[in-house]
Amino acid sequence: MPIGLLTGVGSGLASALLFYSATRGSPFLSSVLLLLTPLPSLIAGFGWGWLSALIGGVAAAAAMLLIASLPFAIGYFLVLGGPSALSAYLAYLNRSDPAGSGAIQWYPPGRLLAALSLYGGALPILVLPLIGGSYEGLREPMGDYFRSFSARTASDLNMPPLSEAQIESVTEFLLAVLPAALSAYWLSIFAINLYLAGRIARASDRLGRDWPDLAALAYPTGFPLLAVAAFAASFAPGLLGVVGTSFSGALLVAYLMAGLALMHFLARGRARWLLWLVYGALLLLGPYAALALTLAGLVEPVINLKRRLGAPPPTPPT
């Protein structure tokens, strides 16, 4: 049996075990396992090709079908199996230099991340049939959860529990932002695992392409217009509002990453202290610093700061 096939099946089963355990364990353990769930399939994809990742995704979905249910299997493939194979496929797309230099031009990381952003934005819509066709179906279980949680914490803290109106307000707000939270969380976790898998494949000499210059990350022309359109659509009622909210979450995370890439570009070879300032601000100021980075990522295509400053002194790519 080819090593790529064996690796794909093994990585898929490992990913399935992490995914299943994350849905059954304690909250802390589940959070840790969920962070690492895409990693085995992505390593297989970068090390042995997209077909290996696809085989792993199918094997993991089959395992989910046996130990859980059909919706669980479909959900796994949509959330992890399919995107892992897609990422490996896009990462290895290449063409010869049109200028005739003989160099190979690999698929740019900005376009790869843009594709994942669009997939992440579509994901909360794709899983709708698995949860009854609407997020409204989650209203009652979410309300029950907050009632029981409020009752427990109120007795522990000697405070009055939340009123029914307060519970309804919290539930309404969470239902409104849930598609954006899901897409943003998925893209964040998947992008981190994508980077780790690439590093692991590179360290083991299994990465079959050049390491990209991530600090020079650039999205396709017109991509910011998608973010504006998604944000505008998020105010619409019904399904259009859900779609807009979902894509807004993923695209905002994408531009947060673009802002971080811009900071790395500015700091590289010029002012390394800038990165300490940026990451310190993220730790201390949290969402305010993240918002500033997101805005920087959004306006960079307009002001072309990277092009204006030109290439920094050469350093190893990160």
Write the CA distances from 210 to 50, 110, 116, 121, 196, integer angstroms. Answer: 17, 15, 20, 28, 15
Largest CA distance in the chain: 75
Cross-strand bridge partners of residue 96? 104
Q: Report phi then psi at 104, rounded to 5.
A: -100, 130
Q: Which residues of 219-234 are buried (b: 16+ CB within 10 A; e: fewer)?
A: beeebbebbeebeebb
Q: Is the pLDDT of residue 146 over 80?
A: no
Q: Of 140-144, 149-153, 287-291, 310-314, where does mean pLDDT reach its minimum? A: 310-314
Residue 132 lies in a domain: no
Residue 48 lies in a domain: yes
Q: Positive or negative CA dihedral for 116, 126, 72, 89?
A: negative
Q: Is the pLDDT of residue 305 over 80?
A: no
Number of domains in the chain: 1
**pLDDT tier, 11 (very low <50, low <70, confident <90, very high otherwise):** confident
Kind plus residue range of the DSSP H or E element containing 96? strand 94-96
Residue 234 lies in a domain: no
- Please indicate whether residue 90 or residue 299 has the higher confidence score (pLDDT): 90
The neighbour count for residue 145, using CB atoms within 10 Å, is 13
Question: Which tens digit of pLDDT belongs to each residue from 261-291?
Answer: 988 888 876 777 788 888 898 888 888 899 9
Question: Which tens digit of pLDDT belongs to each residue from 29-58?
Answer: 666 777 888 899 999 999 999 999 999 899
pTM: 0.87
Nearest to 47 by CA among 154, 172, 183, 203: 203
Question: In angstroms, rounded to a whole number, what is the distance separating the alpha carbons of residues 214 and 255?
Answer: 14
What residue type is 174 in one-letter code? L
Domain that holds residue 39: 1-92
Query: What's the angle, vertex CA 186, arms to CA 88 and CA 277, rounded to 5?
Result: 95
What's the pLDDT at 28? 61
- For the chain, percent of residues with pLDDT exceeding 70: 90
Question: Which tens digit of pLDDT belongs to each residue from 231-266?
Answer: 999 998 888 998 999 999 999 999 999 999 988 888
Dihedral class, residue 95 (left if φ above 0, else alpha if ψ from -120 to 50, else beta): beta
Contacts of 232 (CB under 8 A, 6+ apart): 244
Contacts of 274 (CB under 8 A, 6+ apart): 263, 266, 267
Question: In angstroms, rounded to a whole number, what is the distance separating the alpha carbons of residues 139 and 173?
Answer: 11
Residue 67 lies in a domain: yes
**pLDDT tier, 295 (very low <50, low <70, confident <90, very high otherwise):** very high
Residue with tokens 């954006």: 180
Residue 144 lies in a domain: no
Q: Is the pLDDT of residue 314 over 70?
A: no
Angle in degrees, 0-180, between the axes of helices 109-126 and 238-267, rounded to the nearest 10: 150
Residue 38 lies in a domain: yes
**pLDDT tier, 23 (very low <50, low <70, confident <90, very high otherwise):** low
- For the chain, percent of residues with pLDDT exceeding 90: 36
Residue 155 lies in a domain: no
Residue 171 lies in a domain: no
Query: What's the angle, vertex CA 202, arms to CA 78 and CA 6, rounded to 5?
Result: 55
What's the pLDDT at 123? 94
C-alpha Rg value of the chain to the nearest Å: 21
Q: Is the pLDDT of residue 165 over 90?
A: no
What's the pLDDT at 245? 93
Q: Which residues of 125-136 are buried (b: 16+ CB within 10 A; e: fewer)?
A: eebbeeeeeebe
In this structure, are residues 121 and 242 in contact, taking their beta carbons and an 8 Å threshold? no
